[in-house]
A and B are shown apart, each in its own frame.
Chain A
Amino acid sequence: EPEVTQTPSHQVTQMGQEVILRCVPISNHLYFYWYRQILGQKVEFLVSFYNNEISEKSEIFDDQFSVERPDGSNFTLKIRSTKLEDSAMYFCASRADRESTDTQYFGPGTRLTVL
Chain B
Amino acid sequence: RKEVEQDPGPFNVPEGATVAFNCTYSNSASQSFFWYRQDCRKEPKLLMSVYSSGNEDGRFTAQLNRASQYISLLIRDSKLSDSATYLCVVSAGAGSYQLTFGKGTKLSVIP
A residues at B contact (CB < 8 Å): 31, 33, 35, 41-45, 48, 56, 58, 89, 91, 95, 102-109, 111
**A47 to B, closest residue via Cβ:** B98
Q: Do B43 and A95 touch (CB < 8 A)?
A: no
Q: Binding site of A, secondary structure by majority: helix, strand, loop or mixed?
A: strand
Which A residues touch B102, using CB under 8 A? 42
Tell me, in angstroms, the Cα distance from A103 to B90 when the chains sit together: 11
Taking the nearest CB of chain A, how far is it from the CB of B44, in angstroms? 5
Max chain A CB contacts within 10 Å: which of B43, B49, B99, B100? B43
Q: Give 7 pairs: A residue, B residue, CB < 8 Å, sorted on A.
A: A33-B98, A43-B87, A43-B99, A103-B34, A106-B44, A106-B45, A111-B41
How many residues of chain B have a CB within 8 Å of chain A?
Answer: 21
B residues at A contact (CB < 8 Å): 31-32, 34, 41-46, 49, 87, 91, 96-104
Q: Do B42 and A108 touch (CB < 8 A)?
A: yes
Which B residues touch A33, using CB under 8 A? 98-99
Contacts A103-B34, A109-B43 hold; do A42 and B97 have CB atoms under 8 A apart? no
